[in-house]
Amino acid sequence: MAHFVPRASFSLPGSIPKTYFLGHHHSGANAIKGILNTINLVIECRDVRLPLSTQNPKLESLVAGRQRLIVYTKSDLCTDSPAATHTLRGLYGADNVLFWDKHRPGTTGALLRKLKNSARAIDALTGLRIIVVGMPNVGKSTLLNALRSAASPEKKAKAAKTGDQAGVTRKVGTSVRIVDSEEKGGVSGGIYLLDTPGIFQPYVEDGETMIKVALAHGIKKGLIADEILVDYLLYRMNHWNPGLYSRYCEPTNDVNEFLTAVAKRDGKLKAGGAANWQEAAARVLSLWRIGKFGRYVLDDLSDEAIRAHQHLLVNPHLSQNQAKKLQREERRRARTGD
CATH number of domain containing 314: 1.10.1580.10
Residues 238 and 155 reside in one and the same domain: no
The H-assigned helical ranges of the chain are 23-35, 57-63, 82-92, 105-122, 140-151, 207-215, 226-240, 255-266, 277-288, 303-314, 320-336
141 labelled binding-site residue: yes
Residue type, 88: L
CATH code at position 89: 3.40.50.300
In a domain, 12, yes or no: no
Q: What is the DSSP letter of 34?
A: H
Question: What per-residue confidence (pLDDT) applies to 154?
Answer: 62
Question: What per-residue confidence (pLDDT) applies to 260?
Answer: 98
127 labelled binding-site residue: no
Q: What is the pLDDT of residues 289-299, one digit of tens each?
A: 999 999 999 99
* Structural domains of the chain, count: 2
For residues 181 and 135, the model is more confident at 135
In a domain, 14, yes or no: no
- Which residues, other chains included, contact 100 with Cβ-Cβ below 8 Å and sequence gap of 6+? 71, 72, 73, 74, 75, 107, 108, 111, 139, 143
Residue type, 302: S
142 labelled binding-site residue: yes
Residues 324 and 221 reside in one and the same domain: yes
Q: CA–CA distance from 18 to each of 118, 207, 218, 319, 326 (Å)?
A: 38, 7, 13, 14, 8
Question: What per-residue confidence (pLDDT) applies to 157?
Answer: 47
Using only the alpha carbons of the chain, give its radius of gyration: 21
Q: What is the pLDDT of residues 54-110, one digit of tens each?
A: 999 889 889 989 999 999 999 999 999 999 989 999 998 889 999 999 999 999 999
Residues 124 and 215 reside in one and the same domain: no
Residues 112 and 259 reside in one and the same domain: no
Question: What per-residue confidence (pLDDT) applies to 202?
Answer: 84
96 labelled binding-site residue: no
Predicted model pTM: 0.87
In a domain, 266, yes or no: yes
87 labelled binding-site residue: no
221 labelled binding-site residue: no
In a domain, 245, yes or no: yes
Work out the percent of the chain whose per-residue pLDDT is above 90: 61
Q: What is the pLDDT of residues 248-285, one digit of tens each?
A: 999 999 999 999 999 999 999 999 999 999 999 999 99
Residues 15-27 have a mean pLDDT of 85
In a domain, 176, yes or no: yes
**Range from 18-22, 72-76, 208-212 carrying the lowest mean pLDDT:** 18-22
Question: What per-residue confidence (pLDDT) applies to 158?
Answer: 53
What's the pLDDT band for 186 if we cut at 50, 70, 90? low
Residue 181 has pLDDT above 90, yes or no: no
Question: What per-residue confidence (pLDDT) applies to 188?
Answer: 74
Most confident of 18-32, 80-94, 307-321: 80-94
Most confident of 23-32, 137-146, 276-285: 276-285
Domain housing 59: 23-195
Helix and strand numbers, DSSP H then E, in the chain: 11, 6
Residues 191 and 47 reside in one and the same domain: yes
137 labelled binding-site residue: yes
Question: What per-residue confidence (pLDDT) applies to 23?
Answer: 80
Residues 275 and 178 reside in one and the same domain: no
Residues 63 and 162 reside in one and the same domain: yes
Residues 138 and 102 reside in one and the same domain: yes
Distance CA 83, CA 69 (A): 21
Distance CA 211, CA 220 (A): 12
Sign of torsion over alpha carbons 247, 252, 256, 257: negative
Question: What per-residue confidence (pLDDT) applies to 167?
Answer: 45
What's the pLDDT band for 168 if we cut at 50, 70, 90? very low
